[in-house]
Structure 1
Amino acid sequence: MGHQRRILIVAYDDVQILDIACPSGALDIANRYGADPPYAVELGTVGRRAARSSAGIVLGAAQGLEAVTGRLDTLIVVGGVGSENAAADEQLLAQVRRLASCSRRVASVCTGTFLLAAAGLLDHRRVTTHWRYGERLAARHPAVAVDVGPLYIRDGHIYTSAGVTSALDLTLSLIEDDHGPTLTRTVARELVAPVHRSADQAQISMFLAAPPPEDRLVRDLSGYISGHLAEDLTPRALAARAGVSARHLTRLFNAHLGTTPARAVRAARTEAAAVLVRSSGLPLAAIARRCGFRSAQTLRQAFLDHYGVGGDTMRRMPDMGRTLVPVREKTAPHDT
């Protein structure tokens, strides 16, 4: 057995417990299935104080951040509702800066990105965070290139990830970097997790609002659509994936979603693009490509048909979730 890979997770009060559990749990499973060198995971806080999670569970810290010396393999800064206060804690930020300087790689989960940015570690880097907080991060740190589209982003030795469970996707990618795909697949199977969602899969695919259809085939295809917006989602391609005829697929979608496959795809792409317009500074053309539209113009038309407003108006709205309500499209879906 070789040396251990030291992993230090930085916590604070009102931390999101899943941000800690996802990476630590995945690394523990990697150890049990033969990670060599194994991971040595520790939780650290300022002053070695216990950290109260936002769920009310109190986490004991194995390390005071000030006492950590020597090289670290990975520094992970997690998020949570307490990240606002943590990002204003100069004592904590000083330790994050110091520990980052002696780490092979640095990662954040969810709003942990705010701490890395406040510590000055993200200037002129492309990063992500939870979709809901991307606009705030960009406004607070204009030197940081915020992109809330992907599940996680690597920029040099800095890794940032989106909300909560995307920490698992990030950790699986770190395990694959360290030990290869075979161990990563084993860990993912043990976690009953996808093997594994790629970095550029849209985090927005996880919260498009329609309730899941009762029919399993339609439900599975709906999930596939929302997770692969930029791919070929024509009715023929979807029917082939499901192993049914295009005509039968249309009957199923009409019966369970009240719409055609083409309209369902266009709605998913439009709603995903709307989230990106509001929560990122990406140009409309880039959002169009990421969400499967042929051009910015076709996306503009989709916004008008679906919401009754254009992309520029949408970007100025203070809260998309409360302001934008889909309207009934009066025309057949345009070619996306």
Structure 2
Amino acid sequence: MPQRTVLIVLFDGVQSLDVTGPLEVFAGAEKQWPGSYRIRTASLGGAPVRTSSGLTLVPDAALTAEPDPHTLLVPGGQGTRLPDPELTEWLRAHGPRAERLVSVCTGAVRLAQAGLLDGRRATTHWAYCDSLARNHPAVDIDPDPIYVRDGHIATSAGVTSGIDLALALVEEDLDRETALTVARHLVVFLRRPGNQAQFSAQLAAQTARREPLREVQRWITEHPDADLSVEALAARALLSPRHFARAFHAETGMTPGRYVDRVRLEHARRLLEDTVDGVEEISRASGYGTPEAMRRAFVKALGAAPAEYRRRFRPTAPAR
């Protein structure tokens, strides 16, 4: 088995969990398969860095002293808001030499500043997707997934998604059982699909200002198996369907249909993760009606059928 060097770039203002989360995943895999990973941290000049939370990290070496790694990982944090021409130049020169280029959270900003994401699909923390797209129009920003793979480049969303991505890379490098064991030790899921949304429908959508629309939002969440057509929801809000659809979108930033789709998907996911109910029963409880309708929704949104999704979260649970 070839040894893969993972080099994690450190800088002042880095988010500590962006560093330690993936590092713990790769270190856990190394404990199971000695010699599988060589994990290094480095900063410009080899100087200690202060994280955004005030923690001081002491790197293994200076970036200029490290050979080109297999995996070059760039974390995010408040420090990415400040220009760093020297680090940008180092990434521009050495990023293309890595076999795998990875960013966590706003580490994607550093990669974009170095021109390494031009013509690529990428993601970052949802709060910075708009500014990244605006400042780097050559990058195809997808604000929804928790991580995105485009060739040898992988970018992930906020903080804990770096763990999800690292687990996916370990599974790819070694095997699923190794990644599952690491996930169990870290008490995290193996593994959230990369194209799972960064946040729930309730968080993705704004809370409506008017009480009738807020009540409709609550009703949808509590009754995913009900008739949630625009006509039925408009009747609950005492509005015409046309007025309701316009008002709902204006106040939540999301059409009623899209909101319903997200709520039903989340409800089905929770049942698959937390219960042993069968797919047919879950499809009815979540408002899909049939297993096939739920399967299409899962494949479209998550890239995995319900049975496969359940296996990822509950490997010992019956697919049913």
TM-score, normalised via structure 1 length: 0.63
1:75 aligns with 2:18: no
2:37 — aligned with what?
39
Q: CA deviation at 1:12?
A: 0.5
Question: Which one of the candidate residues 245, 248, 252 is aligned to 1:305?
Answer: 248
Cα distance change on mapping 1:301 and 1:25 into 2, 3 Å: farther
Distance 1:34 1:206 in 2: 39
Q: Distance in 2 between matches of 1:265 and 1:90?
A: 56
> 2:284 is matched with which residue?
none
2:128 paired residue number: 133
Equivalent residue for 2:315? none
| Aligned-pair CA distance for 1:204 | 1.8
Q: Specify the alignment match of 1:326 in structure 2.
A: none
Q: CA RMSD in A?
A: 3.1
Residues 5 and 260 of structure 1: is their aligned pair in 2 closer, same or farther, counting only changes over 3 Å?
Answer: closer
User: 1:303 touches 1:310 (CA, 8 Å); kept in 2?
Assistant: no
Q: Of 168, 173, 186, which residue of structure 1 is paired with 2:168?
A: 173
Q: 223, 232, 237: which is aligned to 1:261?
A: 223
Residue 63 of structure 1 and its aligned partner are, at CA, apart by: 1.5
Task: State the Cα deviation string for residues 277-309 of structure 1 (Å, max 9, x = none).
Answer: xxxxxxxxxxxxxxxxxxxxx9x9656336547
Does the Cα contact within 8 Å between 2:248 and 2:254 map onto a contact in 1?
no
TM-aligned CA deviation for residue 84 of structure 1: 1.4
Matched residues, number: 233
Structure 2: stretches of 5+ with no match in the other structure:
206-214, 229-240, 256-287, 289-296, 298-320
Q: Which amino acid aligns with 1:43?
A: T
Report the counterpart of residue 50 of structure 2 in structure 1. Answer: 52
Paired residue secondary structure (1:197): coil
Residue 264 of structure 1: how far off its partner (Å): 9.9
**In structure 1, C-alpha distance between the alignment counterparts of 2:106 and 2:226, rounded to whole Å:** 32
Percent of paired sites with the same residue: 41
Tell me, what secondary structure is at the counterpart of 2:19? helix
2:309 is aligned to none
Contact 1:8 1:74 in 2 (8 A): yes
Query: Is 2:113 the partner of 1:118?
Result: yes
Question: Are the counterparts in 2 of residues 10 and 77 from structure 1 also a CA contact under 8 Å?
Answer: yes
Question: Aligned residue for 1:25?
Answer: 24
| Structure 2 Cα separation of the partners of residues 116 and 179 of structure 1 | 26
Structure 1 residue ranges, 4+ long, deviating more than 3 angstroms after superposition: 257-260, 263-266, 300-303, 306-312
Taking structure 2 as the reference length, the TM-score comes to 0.66
Q: CA deviation at 1:311?
A: 6.1
Q: What is the rounded CA distance, in whole Å, between the counterparts of 1:63 and 1:186 in structure 2?
A: 30
Letter in 2 for 1:189: R
For residue 86 of structure 2, the aligned residue among 91, 94, 115 is 91
Q: Distance in 1 between matches of 2:195 and 2:226?
A: 22
Q: Aligned with 2:99: secondary structure? A: strand
| 1:256-289 deviation line (CA, Å, top 9, x unaligned) | x7764239997xxxxxxxxxxxxxxxxxxxxxxx
Aligned positions of 1:276-295 closer than 5 A = none
Q: Structure 1 unaligned runs (5+)?
A: 211-253, 267-297, 313-334
Give CA-to-partner distance per residue, 1:110-162, whole Å, 9 cap, x none: 00000000000001100000000000000000111001100000101000000
Hey, what's the Cα distance between the residues in 2 that align with 1:63 and 1:265?
61
